[in-house]
Amino acid sequence: MGKITKDMTFNEVLRSYPDTVKVLRRYNMQCFGCLGAEAESIEYGAIAHGVNLDELLKDLNSTTGDKK
């Protein structure tokens, strides 16, 4: 699938990379159970939760196994 980007929705990421749920839990983001996860982007969620977007994306991408 490729790299996780800020424009992807939480559900899109979670469906493609189930292990990302561990990262979201570390950031205290329960987006895997949120009703907005279908439409909410990673960027919007990071802003709403006061999370550094660059760090979140780095950690999410570390779980994908994609070396690109």
Q: What is the domain count for the chain?
A: 1
Q: Where does the chain show beta strands of DSSP type E?
A: none
Query: 15 lies in which domain range?
Result: 10-61
Question: What single-letter DSSP state applies at residue 41?
Answer: B
The predicted structure's pLDDT at residue 1: 56
* Any domain includes 24: yes
Each residue's pLDDT tens digit, 2-44? 799 999 999 999 999 999 999 999 998 876 666 667 788 999 9
The predicted structure's pLDDT at residue 54: 98
Looking up residue 39, the CATH number of its domain turns out to be 1.10.3910.10
* Any domain includes 40: yes
* Any domain includes 66: no
* Any domain includes 2: no
pTM to 2 decimal places: 0.85
* Any domain includes 68: no
Calpha distance 68→61 (Å, rounded): 10
